[in-house]
Structure 1
Amino acid sequence: MLEKEKEALAKRIAGEITLSSDPGKTMRKWREIFGISQTELADYLGVSSSVISDYEGGRRKSPGASTIRKFVEALIEIDEKRGGNVIRAFSKTIEGELPTDAILDIREFAVPVPIRAVVEAVKGEVAANHDLLDRKIYGYTVVDSIRAILEMSSEEFLKLYGWTTERALVFTKVTTGRSPMIAVRVQGLKPAVIVLHGVKRLDELAVKLAERERIPLVVSKASNENELINGLRKLVEKTEKEF
């Protein structure tokens, strides 16, 4: 299944860990992108969960090539057994194609960033759940809200999440914010933060839904979509430099 994609993904993960100034943090990032718990990974590798915890926390020396290889193989094999969702998502990115026309931009951060960094990047104002801004996320998706709501099937809507739901969903061409929030709630998968761009008057129901779902809701004041996307891409570049 997707042998070339698996090989490319494995090389990317191994390369990031090997070159990282904090290999443990990078291992944790990829484990969480795959949605695998420390316990599940440890069981698969035949080690105690404390070993995984020690690597991720920097309490063990940097992993050697053999450890990195086993770690990467375990992530990919576990994902395959689950249906290969992460591998498939990665295949779209290496093809250079967006999985749906509704998606204007989709990127992953080199290292996790707090939601507050995204708020700054989009020139945002927080409308709900200020207390969750320190939560770390791994990427973002910018989507044309009109196309997403009117044209996308449930299966296509799930592609908005890229490799992980721990990301920002950024909706453009928004008038009140009600429709995007309802769409997210109906789909049943919650992003880590929702950003609305183009809001003329924020609907109270949108705020209430965000509060109920415990999703930070941010209104971007970027002057246009280009400024919005450029701000997010600069944040990606910043994480790459830190990495």
Structure 2
Amino acid sequence: RIAGEITMAENPGVVIRKWRDIFNVSQKDLSRKLEVSPSVISDYESGRRKSPGSRFVAKLVTCMLDIDDSRGGAIIKEYSKLMEGSKFFEAILAIKEFNEPRKIKDIIRATESEFLVGEKNLDNAVYGYTVVDSIKAILELSPLELSMIYGTTTQRALIFTQVKRGRSPILAIKLTSLRPSIAILHGLEGTPDPLAVELAKRERMPLALSHVEAVETLIEKLRELD
């Protein structure tokens, strides 16, 4: 399934990076396992090198699984149930746990966001982020799968892309009964939905609006935090 997503992706390098982040494997460790230069992985992820062939992708996925297995298999065990017949990973554009905690103000700065709710929480800790395709998440994921977007901790930034007004992502958060450190809306069409803002206030959940134009740029800016 992972290999298929990479091979069929419009931008395979972005998907390779997403899965490498999920498995928490560095370019150096992955390249060592693949017996290639770290620059090869970097070139694929940045788009400098053309799309990898199916054999290379299969080997790359096997290496990530082997590395995870050597660490006890925590990642594959955590996600194995979701992978069978699930749209979970199609809805997740990027997911990362920080090596060192950041603050909400760091996330706000990186995502070029403005607060809609909770501007007094600038110094609250954030331990990771998840960038979510809001349309796929809301249409395809079950409540259990929605709860999995929090990764290893709820003290993270949830960034929802392809947002029209913002109501659906906030309702989805409310459905899980879990609260992120901050929710950020990206790609908003028009003004934020007043109900979304009111719900965020009632849940005492910081809510912000990102002004970064492209999703790819947004993800790159977040990656620069770690």
Query: d(CA) in 1 for partners of 2:88 and 2:126?
Result: 21
8 Å contact kept, 1:106–1:140: yes
After TM superposition, give the deviation of residue 91 of structure 1 in Å: 5.2
The runs of at least 4 aligned residues of structure 1 exceeding 4 Å deviation read 87-92
Query: Which of 144, 148, 152 does residue 133 from structure 2 map onto?
Result: 144
Q: For residues 160 and 188 of structure 1, what CA distance do their matches in structure 2 show?
A: 13
Partner of 1:165: 154
Deviations 1:63-83 (A, max 9, x none): xxxxxxxxxxxxxxxxxxxxx
2:181–2:205 CA contact under 8 A, matched in 1: yes
Letter in 1 for 2:159: V
Q: Measured at CA, do residues 229 and 103 of structure 1 come closer, stay the same or move farther in structure 2, by a change above 3 Å? A: same
Correspondent of 2:105 among 102, 107, 116: 116
Which is higher, the Rg of structure 1 or of structure 2? 1
d(CA) in 1 for partners of 2:144 and 2:172?
Answer: 13
Task: Say whether residues 1:210 and 2:200 are aligned partners.
Answer: yes
AA partner of residue 229 (structure 1) = I
User: Residue 90 of structure 2 corresponds to which residue in structure 1?
Assistant: 101
Query: Offset of 1:100 from its aligned partner?
Result: 2.1
TM-score by length of 2: 0.61
Structure-1 separation of matches of 2:88 and 2:138: 15
Describe the SS at the equivalent of 2:138: helix
The verdict on how the C-alpha distance between 1:163 and 1:175 changes in structure 2, with shifts beyond 3 A counting, is same
Q: Which amino acid aligns with 1:162?
A: G
Q: Aligned in 2, Cα 1:152/1:120: closer, same or farther, shift over 3 Å? A: same
**Between Structure 1 and Structure 2, how many residues are aligned?**
147
One-letter code aligned to 1:225? V
Question: What SS does structure 2 have at the residue aligned with 1:186?
Answer: helix
Give the structure 2 partner of residue 71 of structure 1: none
Note closer, same or farther for the CA distance 1:100–1:215 as it changes in structure 2 (3 Å cut): same
User: In the alignment, what sits opposite 2:223?
Assistant: 233
Cα distance in 1 for partners of 2:213, 2:187 equals 9
CA–CA distance in structure 1, aligned partners of residues 76 and 169 of structure 2: 22
For 2:217, the aligned partner's letter is: E
Question: Does the aligned pair in 2 maintain the 1:178–1:206 contact within 8 Å?
Answer: yes
C-alpha RMSD of the superposition: 2.1
Q: How far did 1:101 drift?
A: 1.3
Distance 2:116 2:210 in 1: 10
Aligned-partner SS, 1:101 = helix
Percent identity at matched positions? 44
Any residues of structure 2 matched to 1:62-141 within 5 Å, and which? 87=74, 92=79, 100-141=89-130
Structure 2 CA distance, aligned partners of 1:147 and 1:141? 14
Deviation at 1:104, TM superposition (A): 0.2
Distance 1:161 1:138 in 2: 10
Q: After superposition, what is the alpha-carbon deviation per residue over 1:161-182, rounded to whole angstroms, capped at 9, x for unaligned? A: 0000000010000010000001
- Flag structure 1 segments of 5+ consecutive residues without an equivalent: 1-8, 10-86, 93-97, 237-243
